[in-house]
Amino acid sequence: MPFISADKIRFLLQQLSKQLWLKPLVISVLSVLVAFLAKLAEGTSLAEWVPEVTFESVSRLLSVMSSSMMVIATLAVASMVSAYASASSTATPRAVKLVIADDLSQNALSTFIGAFIFSIVALTAIENDFYEDAGLFTLLVLTVLVFAIVILTFVRWVDRIARLGRVGTTIDSVEDIATQALCRRRRAPDLGGVPATDKTEKGSPLYCDQVGYVQHIDMARLQQCAEDWQIGIRLAVLPGTFVTPDRPLAWISGPGEQPDKQQREQLCRAFMLGKSRTFEDDPRFALVVLAEIASRALSPAVNDPGTGIDIIGRMVRLFVLWGKTEIKPESSEGKNQVAEIRYDRIEVPPISVDDMFDDAFTPIARDGAANVEVSIRLQKALRALSKSKDTASREAAVKYAALALKRSEHALTHEQDIIRVRQAMRD
């Protein structure tokens, strides 16, 4: 049985890449190696061609770099922490993970720390006469190159840090991750398994002692277990589901003997549980976060209906993407291909489009019911989605348009505003 599947490695690497310490650590190790790379030039004929460089000039340049890079790195950390606090207070705490995972900010911090480590190591080597003429000249070239990289990185980082943590930038990040998650699920709507059409609970339930959110399901591991033990598995949860010890993860069936305690523990290891939801395999979570940002904007303390209207438009864009009929690119005959079934022993329940609409539009309809502009835009958005090619999306759009109208009729006090909302629903 494989210890870990390629899909789980992909998930773990995605989670690891979001850690703020990873890139600075890698760059610090590389900077030490680069500082000693100049020593390799001394074993070549380069010394006969390069001009003479004094120890004092290189030492002075490295001293300036070491003193300035520490200050800039400290400034970068302070600015990033301020951006994280801004994103948490003006958008939603759930979006802070995306702000922390900003590649440009991580690269900038890594560059500043790496340049500091490089200058300290190289300066120490120079003061101990580690380099000769060729190595010293090579070190000077490397130092100038590091300076150039630092300057370019600093210029790009200043532009990003001015926008990092702002509501608009945070919304863009959430929409981008939502688009990726929706496309990934659209390409594999059943996670590569067999669509579960029968909702009845059959077989022996599989329980887990942990409490938390399902972050990832290792389908390859479940398939291998099912083939080895000649059983069938029907998932009872999807990524994003909150699991308790009394809630089954799956239902196990088969003609042979049921798995023993040790085998059940192996099956439970295929379900990665955590304290919070993640964006990668849980497209509904991104919709929840967008709705939370809209709810905060529509609260009396903020009173920013423009942000709520903006998020409604982004929701429409995401559901139009989801409602596309093609799951894979069309074949040469022009017919849509069926999603590939890689795990034929695992039945997977479909993701509920009705629940997705509930995640996306119910908070906005509730908190924006007393705002006529938001109510009108919401009705127009749901009317547009009611014409989707996806049947489930059409039905959900009609349902939530009616619910939103009831909320608006109850919250709005001016009769003319109610008439405008009703008209927006019909037109």
Tell me what pLDDT residue 329 has. 43
Pair 10, 217: CB distance under 8 Å: no
Tokens of 212: 């938390």
For the chain, domain boundaries = 6-165, 190-274, 283-325+351-426
pLDDT tens digits, residue range 362-382?
Answer: 999 999 999 999 999 999 999
For the chain, the first-to-last Cα distance in angstroms comes to: 58
Could you write out the DSSP letters of every residue in 49-60?
Answer: TSPP--HHHHHH
Cα distances from 93 to residues 83, 215, 243, in angstroms, run 12, 18, 22
User: What does the mean pLDDT of the chain come to?
Assistant: 85
Task: Report, as an integer, the average pLDDT of 47-56.
Answer: 71
Task: Report, as an integer, the average pLDDT of 327-341.
Answer: 49
Distance CA 308, CA 300 (A): 13
Q: Where are the beta strands (DSSP E) in 82-198?
A: 193-195
Confidence check: pLDDT of 287 > 70:
yes
Confidence of residue 50 (pLDDT cuts 50, 70, 90): low
Distance CA 421, CA 412 (A): 10
Confidence check: pLDDT of 338 > 60:
no
Pair 212, 255: CB distance under 8 Å: no
> What CATH homologous superfamily does 190-274 map to?
Pyrimidine nucleoside phosphorylase-like, C-terminal domain (3.90.1170.30)
Tell me what pLDDT residue 311 has. 96
Tell me what pLDDT residue 45 has. 63
Confidence check: pLDDT of 3 > 80:
no
pLDDT tens digits, residue range 257-284?
Answer: 677 888 888 899 999 999 999 888 899 9
Pair 189, 337: CB distance under 8 Å: no
Confidence check: pLDDT of 426 > 70:
yes
Tell me what pLDDT residue 97 has. 80
Task: Report, as an integer, the average pLDDT of 299-310.
Answer: 92
Tell me what pLDDT residue 1 has. 46
Confidence of residue 14 (pLDDT cuts 50, 70, 90): confident
Task: Report, as an integer, the average pLDDT of 86-110.
Answer: 81
Confidence check: pLDDT of 319 > 80:
yes
| Percent of the chain whose pLDDT exceeds 70 | 91
Confidence of residue 5 (pLDDT cuts 50, 70, 90): low
Between residues 220 and 332, the one the model is more confident about: 220
Tell me what pLDDT residue 295 has. 94
